[in-house]
Amino acid sequence: MTYSITEISNQPAQPLRHLLQTSWQLPKRYVHFLRIKQNVLVNGQYVPMNTIINPGDQLQMQFSEAEFRTQQGYLPNNHQTLPILYENRDLVVINKPAGLKSHPNQPNELDTVMNYMAAQIAHPQMIHRLDQATSGAMIIGKHPIVVPIINRLLSTHQINREYLAVVSGQWEENAGMINLPIGHDPNDQRKRQVNGIDALPAQTNLKLIQAHQTHSLLKLQLATGRTHQIRVHLMAKHHPIIGDPLYGMNPGPRMMLHAFQLHLILPFSGEKLTINAPLPIEFEQYI
């Protein structure tokens, strides 16, 4: 596939290698393939990696499918159209509904985010997931070049998500941080627990939005990305999320966890965006 940057206008003059590897955060192996195959053109010509790239230059990269760690293809399903919050040529941000799995676990599965997205865009690429019961902003790549770039931006917290959760009981602190390691639950392979098997450090930052006698509304941000992290941390604090099918005790219309805001850095341009996912109607009765 060929990827063209029509004009470099928002970044300073810099060596080509620095632009590709540092500014754009392409993996070193991608830059290696571009160099040895001379598949990077500046203003229509191949140039060495130490060439200074100036604002106004045009750049084109070409990759073969064999150079990517390709994902499985997803069977398209057009029975549901997922709402798109933002889209450009590299990615889409959808507002994932609660109750929908992020990706199939079996080859013949059809009712997941990635199946529906396969009917909406040509080659959807899985980047990160939301738990089945969680709703909100979720990034989908539109081609494989962008996947490692966004993954690196996520892992270095340059891209981050904020969540809203309605929890059981009256939360006392206005703000704080939960710093408890999370590992596997030895009694249930679906679940995680604080200080479980092979526990890894986990940190969740939180702010109290509203507190009532029966429930509280919290804003949360992940400093690490462990499986079920928010759910496990809140349960450990004896304030499980209302409607949580695995860790909660209080029934609700759904699990009351929503990825409501995404702070996004766009690959290649470096533009910063804040994308909001509208609050589901189920939250209204608690706010």
Q: What would be the CATH architecture of the domain defined by 2-66?
A: Roll (3.10)
| Residues 6+ positions from 231 with CB-CB distance below 8 Å | 131, 240, 241, 244, 246, 247, 257
Mean pLDDT of 148-153: 94
Least confident residue range of 5-14, 115-124, 243-252, 253-262: 5-14
pTM of the predicted model as reported, rounded to 2 decimal places: 0.91
For the domain 161-260, what is the CATH superfamily, name and number? Pseudouridine synthase (3.30.2350.10)
Residue written as token pair 């409501």: 260
pLDDT, residue 45, reads 94
Domain boundaries, the chain: 2-66, 161-260
* Annotated catalytic residue, options 57, 90, 131, 244: 131
**Each residue's pLDDT tens digit, 51-110:** 999 988 999 998 877 777 666 789 999 999 999 999 999 999 999 999 999 999 888 899
Task: Give per-residue burial for 42-77: e unless 16+ CB within 10 Å, then b.
Answer: beeeebeeebebeeebebebbbeeebbeebeebebb
Is residue 131 annotated as part of the catalytic site, yes or no?
Answer: yes
Give the Cα separation of 140 and 166 in Å (integer).
26
Give the Cα separation of 217 and 209 in Å (integer).
5
